[in-house]
Amino acid sequence: MSDLSLDATQLDRYSRHIIMDEVGPEGQKRLLDSSALVVGAGGLGAPVIQYLAAAGVGTVGVVDDDVVERSNLQRQVIHGDDDVGRPKVDSARDFVAALNPDVDVDTYETRLDRENAGILTDYDIVVDASDNFPTRYLVNDTCRLEGIPVSHGAIYKFEGQVTTLHPDGPCYRCLFREAPEPGTVPDCATTGVLGVLPGTVGCIQATEAVKVLLDAGDPLIGRLLFYDAMDMSFETVPYAEDPDCPVCGDDPIDSIDDIEYVDGCAIGAD
């Protein structure tokens, strides 16, 4: 174990990982040397950040341009009442620092867009915890072109979904070619959301991210997991690569430069 540079404190902190054959000291060192970018520090991002940090993912990036509001505290568990009015990235950074000093936190107090999407390429995996379609398509398109895996999650009232978008499998546009018309899918501020729902969905996203970083288990590649909190049911639906997909199909784009991430986020034919 000494060859893996795990000190006594780390051997104690990560002991429940280290005793597992599927992780072990080699796997824990791999996590400590890994990086993950979490897009969004809200309902989904909060549990993702919490558990990636607890697991010892060595560098966690957080992208968010919002500040903490009191209405967030019903579900965004890394923020507290004293954080109201603070940038979420600052609150997230302080939470991780108190939880695990092994983890470095990169903060980006900005809204992810086409001009700054290069942020995504600095990380081993991206966790899409965003709450809007333009960001989801931007993350998918950029990461697919750069060969970066993505753990995608979304929530609505009492329901959630998770899938893993891996370079070896279908992408988000294979599943949903274009976004729905603006205004047809209401947000949490309009419809509400069960406070514990993003905790469940975000934990599944964090699980998928850790599995990908460890190269362990069977991630949700080509499978969309549906969760219904009211029925307490899970359903997995397979989906396949689309040869006509404009991002990962037989004739893919080579850049996002000409894509306008508004409305349906469509990629026009040449």
Q: Which domains does the chain have, with CATH numbers?
A: 34-238 (3.40.50.720)
The mean per-residue pLDDT over the stretch 80-103 comes to: 98
Handedness of CA 153, 133, 143, 266 (dihedral sign): positive
Whether the Cβ atoms of residue 37 and residue 119 lie closer than 8 Å to each other: yes
Question: 221: helix, coil or strand?
Answer: strand
The mean per-residue pLDDT over the stretch 193-217 comes to: 98
198 Cβ contact partners less than 8 Å away, ≥ 6 residues apart: 42, 43, 44, 46, 47, 75, 76, 155, 160
The four Cα atoms 87, 259, 150, 128 give a dihedral, to 10 degrees, of 30
User: Which pLDDT score is estimated for 189?
Assistant: 74
Closest CA to 17 of 60, 49, 54: 54
Closest CA to 63 of 93, 84, 33: 93
Longest dimension (CA), the chain: 59
156 beta partners: 159
Each residue's pLDDT tens digit, 134-186: 999 999 999 999 999 999 999 999 999 999 999 999 999 999 999 988 777 77
The mean per-residue pLDDT over the stretch 98-119 comes to: 97
What's the CA gap between 223 and 174, in Å, rounded? 12
| Residue with the larger pLDDT of the pair 191 and 93 | 93
User: Which pLDDT score is estimated for 32?
Assistant: 98
Each residue's pLDDT tens digit, 10-31: 999 999 999 999 999 999 999 9
Closest CA to 151 of 213, 93, 105: 213
User: Which pLDDT score is estimated for 4?
Assistant: 66
How buried is 230 (Cβ within 10 angstroms: 0-12 exposed, 13-18 middle, 19+ buried)?
exposed
Closest CA to 24 of 223, 215, 250, 240: 215
Each residue's pLDDT tens digit, 219-242: 999 999 999 999 999 999 999 999
Scan for tokens 């104690």, then name that residue: 12
How buried is 118 (Cβ within 10 angstroms: 0-12 exposed, 13-18 middle, 19+ buried)?
exposed
- Answer yes or no: is pLDDT of 1 > 50: no
The residues annotated as belonging to the active site are 188
Each residue's pLDDT tens digit, 63-79: 999 999 999 999 999 99
130 beta partners: none
- Answer yes or no: is pLDDT of 2 > 50: no
Closest CA to 67 of 47, 85, 79: 85
Average pLDDT, the chain: 95
User: Which pLDDT score is estimated for 232?
Assistant: 97
Q: What is the token pair recorded at 75?
A: 């579900």
Q: Per-residue confidence at 270, pLDDT binned at 50, 70, 90?
A: very low
